[in-house]
Amino acid sequence: MVTKSDTEPVQIEIFPRKFLKPATAECLLGEIYRAGGLVRIMVQGPNLPKAVPYGPGKGLPVEENRDLLLKLGDQALELRVKVGRIWLELESEEYIEGVKAACERTLPFPFDIKRKRLFHTKPTVSDYAKYGSKVEDERILGLVDPKGKKERDLAMLSDSRGD
């Protein structure tokens, strides 16, 4: 018997106990992407500064935070945060075990996976200001940076998996 919860998208949060290095984040996101069933993904964490914010080197560029690219599917995304949390929306509950297995293979330290409502289902004020009253793709709801000038922080991954 197919229940309503089996067919509805499910949202989960992966909360590693440490910030992820860019290579670890790329490996984890790649494993999750290959597991399938991914609808939306968002990474959260503190900003990686482009310049030293304070102290004697104030204003000097931070070399280690330059050109950090995550390759996910057929896209390359600029990493601008230390990855501390990952929000996922999956097509159904059957994909949760694949995500958990990907985390266990990739992360050498403890992590938590929680199921909860994370993404917006209706346009926010920022969505309305950015896109108007009609949003073409509902996957971008709530993912708008209200201070962002461009849509470069969003990437639409194709449905074809490069396996």
Q: Are 25 and 83 in contact (CB under 8 A)?
A: yes
What pLDDT score does 161 carry?
44
What pLDDT score does 146 carry?
63
User: How confident is the prediction along the chain (163 residues), in pLDDT tens digits per residue?
Assistant: 455 555 688 999 999 999 998 889 999 999 999 988 888 888 888 888 888 889 998 999 888 766 688 888 778 888 888 899 999 989 999 999 999 999 999 999 999 999 988 877 777 777 777 777 777 777 776 666 666 655 555 555 555 444 4
Class of domain 4-118: alpha beta
CA-based nearest residue to 39, from 61, 58, 19, 11: 11
Phi, psi angle pair for 129, to nearest 5° = -65, -35
Cα–Cα distance between 116 and 71 in angstroms, integer? Answer: 27
What pLDDT score does 151 carry?
52
Cα–Cα distance between 45 and 24 in angstroms, integer? Answer: 15
Q: Are 124 and 142 in contact (CB under 8 A)?
A: yes
118, exposed or middle or buried, with CB in 10 Å at 0-12, 13-18, 19+?
middle
All structural domains of the chain with their residue ranges: 4-118, 120-158
What pLDDT score does 86 carry?
93
What pLDDT score does 106 carry?
94
CA-based nearest residue to 116, from 90, 153, 142, 138: 90
Residue 113, Cβ neighbours under 10 Å: how many?
14
Beta strands in the chain (DSSP E): 10-16, 38-44, 69-72, 75-78, 85-90, 111-115
What pLDDT score does 162 carry?
42
